[in-house]
Amino acid sequence: MRQGKRDFLTFWDLTRQEVEEILLLSRDLKEKRKRGIVYEPLKGKMLAMIFEKASTRTRVSFEVGMRELGGHSLFLSPSELQIGRGESISDTARVLSRYVDCIIIRSYSQELVEEFAINSEVPVINGLTNKHHPCQVLGDIFTIWEKKSYLQGIKVAYVGDGNNVAHSLIQAASLMDFNLTVACPDGYEPDQSILKSALEKNPGSIRVIRNPFEAVSDADVIYTDVWTSMGWEEEAELRRKIFRGYQVNMDLVSSSKKDVIVMHCLPAHRGEEITSDVMDGSWSVILDQAENRLHTQKALIIKLIIGF
């Protein structure tokens, strides 16, 4: 592994100062794009993208972002690589990092991504695993900062499954000092080791409760995600029954602050975890949230390749 090389595998791979630098750069990049200013600091650089899982926002935002920064991207599915025929993760990582300047991996396994990063000579980005989704949450906190003008002390209510997005939000809350309340059914809580580590870093910043109405009562942000993530499809019908009381609907939103904003990382199952009237309502910032993935990931790639 190259000395000084940086990866982004979980949200805690960045310091608070580095996240703040990325947010400022993201705002600048967004403004440049809006004004049609060409900015190509990664001209001649190559991003490799290895995707085991299907993707819309992650793939398109990284490909478009790399192109806008003057670089190129190469999409690779496991079936197109020798890794799909038994080549080791370590060998694949060592070879690929001789060709490209950065690698993003979207995988079921967090351990696979971590093993890849250990053996890579170039930065590795976690594009999503079953355990973490740090790129999503980087875009999320930029959206909150953009809409509310601050992060420290903001109150976020996450309603639903304690999944990979919840884990990255927990890490972000402890690092950036905002308040996070997770409302979820019994047995669907976030990973206890992640929660414990977050509370050790920032005691009192995170709560896990059962009642979604209690969670949103004083929230600045209501956040939800699908009840059944990729890889748990066989549990879909059971989860619909268990999570029925955790739908983000008009009743729930009206129980929060008047200026609350509603977020969803997408894709959404309308009529399940969120209703269409909420998703398309004036409090929804979901499309802005999706767009901001582009700007924050551009900033992240610049910082990982060029340096903080």
Q: Given 57, 59, 132, 133, which residue is catalytic? A: 133
**Annotated catalytic, 133?**
yes
Is 295 catalytic? The answer is no
Q: Is 293 a catalytic residue?
A: yes
What distance in Å separates the CA atoms of residue 304 and residue 242, rounded to the nearest whole number?
Answer: 41
CA distances for 173 relative to 24, 121, 126, 127, 207, angstroms: 18, 30, 19, 20, 11
Enumerate the H helices of 131-228 as residue ranges: 134-148, 164-176, 192-201, 212-216
The encoded tokens of residue 5 equal 């090389």
What's the rounded Cα separation, in Å, for the pair 69 and 141?
22
Question: Pick the catalytic residue: 57, 167, 239, 293?
Answer: 293
Residue in 136, 247, 289, 297 annotated catalytic: 136
Neighbours of 37 (CB within 10 A): 10
| Known catalytic membership, residue 102 | no
Look up 265 and say whether it is catalytic.
yes
**Of 106, 132, 167, 264, which residue is the catalytic one?**
106
Bridge partners (DSSP) of residue 159 are 183, 224
Angle at CA 26, nearest 5°, toward 230 and 163?
Answer: 20
| DSSP code of residue 86 | T
Which position among 101, 140, 220, 225 bears the catalytic label?
A: 225
Helices (H), the chain: 16-35, 57-68, 89-99, 110-119, 134-148, 164-176, 192-201, 212-216, 236-242, 250-253, 276-279, 286-306
Of the listed 102, 161, 265, 289, which one is catalytic?
Answer: 265
Catalytic residues: 106, 133, 136, 225, 265, 293
